[in-house]
């Protein structure tokens, strides 16, 4: 049992929860590795949402509210970490939620769907086809979900799918702690933040945004600026530590 007085209590509880989810089949073993990599970047970012990340999250909210057919794509890690938050975001932005997995089995899809539904998420179901031009199972999606979407929120994404979705003409909002990942560099809007902070922030902005502001918000950003901001933020933190 991890004592609440432990200085890394939240981090250790999250790892413990993900390990349990891995044993249950919700999270893949590879997903545990991915979480550890992200956690390392979160150390560098100070384990809090930077002002730049908050700016990106506000833009993400505006893009979802402005979309004709918004979709939230969910993998095992995202479901394990943020199922309740996904349900709250779905309520305020009206997005379809679709389960999309690299290590895909019907059993895992069912487990993740049930986890999401327990938290009030409405998950699209039915047949999938290879609508995304990829040779692995992340190419599979629902016609009325990701295939038809104009704006897609893809937390903890694979870079090749983010790139493929952008090539299909979709606006891709990615949540990724690594400012140098292919996902971050190829998506339309990178949110360089931790998923359990980012999704609630987007939800809050969805509720707070004045709809008349949306056109200005969604036309006034540059993907590269968010990457530069994150790298500069990390650089300054490292310099401060050395000083």
User: Helix, strand or coil for residue 172?
Assistant: strand
Evaluate whether residue 20 is within a structural domain: no
Is there a domain that residue 224 lies in?
yes
Report if residue 123 sits inside a domain. yes
16 domain residue, yes or no: no
**Cα distances (Å, whole numbers) of residue 162 to 88, 159, 174:** 24, 5, 8
Residue 238, token pair as written in the block: 């490292």
Specify the 3-state DSSP secondary structure of 136: coil
Residue 202 lies in a domain: yes
Instruction: Indicate which CATH number applies to the domain containing 96.
Output: 3.40.50.12640
pLDDT in tens, the chain (243 residues): 777 777 676 778 888 989 999 999 999 888 888 888 889 999 999 999 999 999 999 999 999 999 999 999 999 999 999 999 999 999 999 999 999 998 899 999 999 999 999 999 999 999 999 999 998 888 999 999 999 999 999 998 788 999 999 999 999 999 999 999 999 999 999 999 999 999 999 999 999 999 999 999 999 899 999 999 999 999 999 998 776
Residue 210 placed within a domain = yes
Helix-strand-coil split of the chain, %, nearest 5: 60, 10, 30
- The secondary structure element, H or E, covering residue 79 is helix 76-93
Instruction: Give the total residue count for the chain.
Output: 243
CB-based contact 73:152 (threshold 8 Å): yes
Range of the domain at 221: 51-239
13 domain residue, yes or no: no
pTM: 0.94
Query: Looking at the 3D structure of the chain, how many domains does it have?
Result: 1
Both tokens assigned to 152: 């897609």
Within-domain flag for 62: yes
| Sign of the alpha-carbon torsion through 116, 117, 121, 122 | positive
C-beta separation of 34 from 158 below 8 A: no
Quick check: 116 and 84 in contact, CB under 8 A?
Answer: no
Nearest to 155 by CA among 189, 121, 120: 189
């Amino acid at each position: 049992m991890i004592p609440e007085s432990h200085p890394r209590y939240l981090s250790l509880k999250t790892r413990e929860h993900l390990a349990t989810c891995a044993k249950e089949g919700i999270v893949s073993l590879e997903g545990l590795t991915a979480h550890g990599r992200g956690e390392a970047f979160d150390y560098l970012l100070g384990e809090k949402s930077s002002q730049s990340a908050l700016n990106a999250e506000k833009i993400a909210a505006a893009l979802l509210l402005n979309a004709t057919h918004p979709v939230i794509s969910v993998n095992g890690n995202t479901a394990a970490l943020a199922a309740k938050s996904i349900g709250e975001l779905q309520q305020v932005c009206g997005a379809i939620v679709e389960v999309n997995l690299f290590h895909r089995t019907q059993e895992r899809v069912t487990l993740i769907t049930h986890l999401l539904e327990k938290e009030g998420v409405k998950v699209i179901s039915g047949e999938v086809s290879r609508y995304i031009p990829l040779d692995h199972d992340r190419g599979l999606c629902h016609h009325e979900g990701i295939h038809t979407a104009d704006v897609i929120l893809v937390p903890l994404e694979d870079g090749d799918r983010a790139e493929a979705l952008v090539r299909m003409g979709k606006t891709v909002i990615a949540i990724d702690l690594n400012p140098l990942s292919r996902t971050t560099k190829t998506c339309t809007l990178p949110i360089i933040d931790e998923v359990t902070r980012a999704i609630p922030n987007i939800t809050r902005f969805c509720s707070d945004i004045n709809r008349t502001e949306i056109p200005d918000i969604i036309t006034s950003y540059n993907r590269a600026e968010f990457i530069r901001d994150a790298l500069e933020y990390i650089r300054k933190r490292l310099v401060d530590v050395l000083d």
